[in-house]
Amino acid sequence: MKGKLITLEGIDGSGKSTICRLLQDDLGFEGCIFTREPTTSWFGDAVNRALRSDTDHIAELMLFLADHADHISRLIRPSLENGDNIISDRYSASRCAYQGATLQDIFEDPLDWVRFLHKGWTIDPDLIILFDIDPEVAVKRCGDRGERSKFEKMEFLKKVRSNYLRLAAEEPGRFVVVNADRPLNEVQEEVFRIIAHAVGTGNKE
């Protein structure tokens, strides 16, 4: 693999998509490929359909995994082999953190189980930027988005956040934890610097 894979992670409302848009608009990162999970393929459509209904949590996980497998074979692997750098708004850590929370009544350690399900076929990111924020702040930022999604409930997001922090603690070499509860320009400055350093663009914005 010649390119670098960088993923942006965090609870809903942590500011990932906003930073992703800013990265996409910045000339310093114009050589990067921008992508996301859930993807925009029909697998991603199926995932979004599951998210809008009361789909069984195991079934939902399997849809997320199918979307991930398709994402890897169609875009991630060929792009990395081609030497392209990739920035993905959510990736496998979202599954460990979110499904590690939805499945907590079924498994003793659902995070570990979900992580295991990726082994042997996924491509691990070179760098995971975790946008860390108190769910109270993130939910306030989302306004009425909070009413619509079952994933934007406070207690649930607290569990998701703690799962993310556990992942980061277990793999400190791969994760960078960014305090996302700061003015946008400060978060942007830090994230741009981290990514520029990782992909070697020389962009110091």
Judged by beta carbon distances under 5 to 8 A according to partner kind, the member of ligand ADP, ligand TYD, none in contact with residue 158 is none
By CB under 6 A, tell whether 64 contacts ligand TYD: yes
DSSP secondary structure string for all residues of 35-61:
EESS-SSHHHHHHHHHHTTT--HHHHH
Residue 4 in contact with ligand TYD, rule: CB under 6 A? no
Whether the CB-CB separation of 123 and 76 falls below 8 Å is answered with yes
Binding to ligand TYD (CB under 6 A) within 18-37 occurs at: 37
User: Which of 7, 94, 188, 201 touches ligand TYD (CB under 6 A)?
Assistant: 94
The helix, strand and coil proportions of the chain, stated in percent and rounded to the nearest 5, come to: 55, 10, 30
Residue that has been written with the tokens 């010649």 in this structure: 2
Judged by CB, which is closer to ligand TYD: 163, or 188?
163
Amino acid identity, residue 31?
G
> What whole-number distance in Å separates Cα of residue 34 and Cα of residue 52?
25
| Residue choice 33, 46, 51, 198 for contact with ligand TYD (CB under 6 A) | 51
Binding partner selected for residue 15 from ligand ADP, ligand TYD, none, CB under the kind-specific 5 to 8 Å limit: ligand ADP
What CA–CA distance (Å, rounded) separates 139 from 152? 7
Residues 6+ apart with CB under 8 A from 43: 63, 66, 67, 70, 71
Smallest separation (angstroms) from ligand ADP to the CB of 103: 22
Q: Is 132 in the site for ligand TYD (CB under 6 A)?
A: no
The reply on whether position 151 binds ligand TYD by CB under 6 A is yes
79 is in an annotated binding site: no
Q: Which residues form the interface with ligand TYD (CB under 6 A)?
A: 12, 17, 37-38, 51, 64, 90, 94-95, 98-99, 151
Q: Which residues belong to the annotated binding site for ATP? A: 10-17
